[in-house]
Amino acid sequence: MHAQAFPAFGVERRGAPVQAFVRFDNKKIRLRSQIYEPDYIIVQDSTLIKDVNVFYGMKEGGIAIVNTEKGIESPVPKGVKVIMIDATSIALQKIGLPITNTALMGAFAAASGEIGFTALEDAVKRRFRGDLATKNIAAAKAAYDFVKGAA
Amino acid sequence: MALGTGCTARPGNSRNNKTGSWRVFRPAFINERCTSCGMCRIVCPEGCIGENEEGLPVPDYDYCKGCGLCAEECPSEAIEMKKEEK
Amino acid sequence: MLEITEGSLAVADAVGKCRPQVIAAYPITPQTHIVEALADMVANCTIDAEYITVESEFSALSACLGASAAGSRVYSATTSQGLALMFEVCFNCAGMRLPVVMTIANRALGAPLSIWNDQQDSISLRDSGWLQFYAEDNQEATDLHYLAYRVSEDHNILLPSFVCFDGFILSHTYEPVDILTQEEADRYLPRFTPFQRLDAEDPISFGLFAAPDYYMEFRYEIDQAAKKALSVFPKAGREFAELFGRDYSGLVESYRMEDADCALVAMGSLCGTVKDAIDELRDAGNKVGLLKIRTFRPFPADEVKKALSGVSRVAVLDKNISLGSKGAVALEVRDALYGSQIPVHDYIIGLGGRDVRKKDIARVVSLAGEGKGDLYYGLREEVLK
């Protein structure tokens, strides 16, 4: 199994919109361009939807995970499943900070079935130690369970 | 081209770039407790807190990033950070 | 051991295992993660090196120059404006024949300010005497550091090296990298044996004054030493391959060049995208291949000429522009093919981080087929009016 993850920054300031891309494949990944036809998208801040066509390039059967409390109004391409989750509240509750990454990873694992929760847990443990790992795993688990329950 | 020769631009164009949308927490001003000391206006890193005729603070939420410095420094505890609903 | 890690962290790990004795660097995007990681290693005593914090890139490389002259294995890393600030010291390192190794996380030069990738920075130092190696992926970026020390420190060469890897596109990408153990690294890269050094017991001075009756001879010797890397680099690559199986012995590398009609020429991370594009073009019946250039300095003109001898046309992808002239790689390739009838078309592409996709490569191949070249690929129409 091969994987490739990379960011695309806009301006260098905290809070500015950024994109990040992930590919995974059974063979070595040589392609370096950004992703234009995603199978999955994760929108960390739903207020961006009014400025950016986040669904651009998505195909039928694609899944979009959107971090939102009150829902989204914009049109969604045909055949794209939208999963809405209030990851900010989960992160605030479990980690104590509005950092939604691990919660959204949990949501992605549940929605896509591409990665198991144990693998995600291992990855979080490699990235964080001690209390921080426990909190982030809790955030991921809460989101994972929310999506599994909703599905 | 959007930018002139030499990659130039006229002053003031950063106003077009509204930076308030990514706020997670919004400062709510409680005027009853405010003593008009002006501390919030001094510490705001965005310079986006003005004042009205009565000397009360008026935030410009188009640019407020929700950093919470004003609430942290307010001597009268007249600013509360409330979670935005997105 | 295979690990999924960030390019910068993999590079820092390899640099640490090269056992540098002195590191001096100034942080700059997108190089920062490398020097942060190395500063951590020094602070945590996981490597035995002196980390000199400095106030600028000029000072960083000056500190490296002094430390190298004193007989240490030294390391630095920079990019873009940082490299531009090192300009003077770069020439001095080469002229004093100091085998400094420096990572370049390739980034565009301002103005306009850009933090994103192209290869203008290292290309602009092409005449400085530094050897320049370009990596396609993070495995290669990592491994090239071991080779760079071997080649630079060879007493027949004694020249500094850039290991160039594309900023963000590689430096910030997480992907699998086979990480050498310290024991493996030590087996390949022995401790540094300086050719000569500053020594109070046996004093010498470096980089003295040369009058017109000798200056040219010194320049000639630097040039000769750089050219010797054309044979030393492949040898270092073969020895690396014998130990670890990954083969960097080619100064250039051919991909599906057998029976190719059109040859693309590229350096760095672009080669990966080009390879994928070539597979699709081949499936559609187009005879296309890639010649990847690994060592830009010294330039392997003979290898380029040999590899391209059978093609009908060449399309060079240049992530740089020698303003007022052409892309630097195309100029070299054209020079290598001088006297042949093979047309060499130049395409300036991906400057300042503009993304390059498979369809762009396919379009370049068809433009070359129409004989349309020497152009900036994918410009906004508004500048062409």
The CATH number of the domain where A108 resides is what? 3.40.920.10
Whether residues C45 and C190 fall in one domain: yes
Backbone angles phi, psi at B82, to 5 degrees: -115, 140
* Average pLDDT over chain A, rounded to an integer: 93
Tens digit of pLDDT for each residue in C38-85?
999 999 999 999 999 999 999 999 999 999 999 999 999 999 999 999
Closest C-alpha among C337, C344, C338, C339 to residue C373:
C344
For residue B21, the model assigns a pLDDT of 78
Q: How far is A18 from chain C (nearest CA, A)?
A: 13
- pLDDT of C31: 98
pLDDT computed for residue A14 by the predictor = 65
Average pLDDT over residues B31-57: 95
What CATH number has the domain bearing residue B60? Answer: 3.30.70.20
Angle at C170 between CA C81 and CA A53, to 5 degrees: 95
Same domain for C228 and C260, yes or no, is no
Substitution target from C172, C269, C292 for chain A, most A beta carbons within 10 A: C172
Residue B63 amino acid letter: Y
Q: Which residues contact A48 (CB under 8 A, 6 or more apart)?
A: A17, A54, B21
Tokens of C348: 């300036």
- Cβ pair C135, C8 in contact under 8 A: no
Q: What kind and span of H or E run contains C236?
A: helix C215-244
Look up residue C227 and give its amino acid. K
Q: What is the pTM of this model?
A: 0.94
Beta-bridge partners for B80: B28
What's at A132, amino acid-wise? Answer: L
In a domain, B56, yes or no: yes
Question: DSSP class of residue A34?
Answer: P
Under 8 Å CB pairs connecting chains A and B tally to 27
Location of structure tokens 């300095």:
C297
Q: In this model, does residue C19 exceed pLDDT 60?
A: yes
Whether B6 and C111 lie within 8 Å, measured CB to CB: yes
Q: Are residues C222 and C336 in the same domain?
A: no
In chain C, the residue whose alpha carbon lies closest to the alpha carbon of A27 is C176
Is position A31 within any domain? no
Domain that holds residue C339: 252-383
C271 and C237 together in one domain: no
Give the side-chain half-sphere CA count within 13 A for C197. Answer: 16
Q: How many CB atoms lie within 10 A of CB C370?
A: 8
Structure confidence at residue A140 (pLDDT)? 98
Helix (H, G, I), strand (E, B) or coil at C40: helix
The tokens of B36 are what? Answer: 């008009």
Instruction: Determine, yes or no, domain membership for A132.
Output: yes
Picking from A2, A12, A32 by the largest number of C CB atoms within 10 A of its own CB, the best residue to mutate is A32
pLDDT of residue B22: 75
Q: Over chain C, what is the mean pLDDT? A: 97
Is B1 within 8 Å of C383 when comparing Cβ atoms? yes
Average pLDDT over residues C160-176: 98
Q: Range of B54's domain?
A: 27-83
Tokens of C177: 């990298």
Does B7 sit within 8 Å of C382, measured CB to CB? no
Q: What is the pLDDT of residues A4-14, one digit of tens each?
A: 999 998 776 66
Count of structural domains within chain C: 2
Considering only CA atoms, which of C179, C200, C199 is closest in space to residue C2? C179
Which strands sit side by side in the sheet containing C174-178, from one edge to the other? A19-25, A2-8, C174-178, C2-6
| C111 has a chain B CB within 8 A of its CB | yes
Give yes or no: residues C20 and C155 share one domain.
yes
- At position A122, the amino acid (one-letter code) is D
Domain count, chain B: 1
Distance, CA of C3 to CA of C13 (rounded, Å): 12
Look at residue A49 in the predicted model and tell me its pLDDT. Answer: 87
Answer whether residue A24 shows pLDDT above 80: yes
Residue C137 CB coordination number (10 Å)? 25
**B86:A92 CB<8 A:** no
Optimal mutation site among B22, B24, B86, interface A, most CBs of chain A within 10 A: B86
**CA–CA dist C242, C253 (Å, integer):** 18
- Average pLDDT of the segment spanning A107-124: 96
Q: How far apart are CA C278 and CA C358, in angstroms?
A: 9
List the strands of the sheet with A63-67, edge to edge. A40-43, A63-67, A81-85
| B45 at A interface, C-beta within 8 A | no
Mean local confidence (pLDDT), A122-142? 96
Q: Please report residues of B whose CB lies closer than 8 A to that of C382.
A: 1
CA pair distance B68, B3, nearest whole angstrom:
35
Cβ atoms A83, A150 nearer than 8 A: yes
Helix axes C32-43, C7-17, angle to 10 degrees: 40
Determine, yes or no, domain membership for B10. no
What distances in angstroms separate CA B46 from CA A41, B29, B57, B69, B73, one per listed residue? 32, 17, 14, 11, 15
Q: A95 to chain B: which residues are within 8 Å by CB?
A: none
Q: How many residues does chain A have?
A: 151
- Chain A residues whose C-beta sits inside 8 Å of any chain B C-beta: 15-17, 45-48, 51, 67-70, 88-89, 92, 98
DSSP three-state, residue C211: coil
Rounded-to-integer distance, Cα C11 and Cα C36, Å: 12
Q: Kindly report, residue by residue over C277-324, the tens digit of the pLDDT.
A: 999 999 999 999 999 999 999 999 999 999 999 999 999 999 999 999
Rounded to whole angstroms, what are the CA distances from A26 to A3, A151, C231? Answer: 9, 28, 37
Q: Does residue B1 have a pLDDT over 70?
A: no
Give me the number of domains chain A comprises: 1
Q: Select from A22, A21, A76 the least CA-distant residue to A46.
A: A76
> Is A50 inside any structural domain?
yes
> Can you tell me the mean pLDDT for C230-257?
98
- Between strands B57-59 and B49-51, the pairing is antiparallel
Residue A130 is part of which domain span?
36-150
Residue B4 lies in a domain: no
Residue A14 within a domain: no
∠C225-C320-C287 over CA atoms, to 5°?
Answer: 95
The answer to whether the beta carbons of residues A27 and C199 sit under 8 Å apart is: no
Kindly write down the DSSP assignment for every residue of C165-200, as one continuous string.
Answer: EETTTTTT-EEEEEPPPHHHHHHHSPPP--SS---T
Q: Taking residues B11-27, what's their average pLDDT?
A: 84
Instruction: Look up residue B70 and give its two tokens.
Output: 């004003």
What phi and psi values does residue C235 have, to the nearest 5 degrees? Answer: -65, -45
Which of C215, C244, C273 is the last residue in one of the domains? C244
pLDDT at residue number A15: 65
Determine the straight-line distance between the first and last CA of chain C, rounded to whole angstroms.
54
Of the residues C218, C244, C270, the one at which a domain ends: C244
Report chain B residues whose CB lies below 8 A from the CB of A69. Answer: 85-86
Confirm whether A2 is domain-assigned: no
Give a yes or no: residue A11 inside a domain: no
B18 shares contact with chain A (CB less than 8 Å): no
Residue A94 has a pLDDT of: 97
Q: Tens of pLDDT along A36-94?
A: 999 999 999 898 888 888 999 999 999 999 999 989 888 899 999 999 999 999 999 99
- Kindly state whether residues C180 and C317 are assigned to the same domain: no
Using DSSP, state whether A44 is helix, strand or coil.
coil
Cis previous bond, C30, omega within 30 = yes
Q: Determine which of A50-59, C5-14, C162-171 has the lowest per-residue pLDDT on average.
A: A50-59
Q: Is B24 helix (H, G, I), strand (E, B) or coil?
A: coil
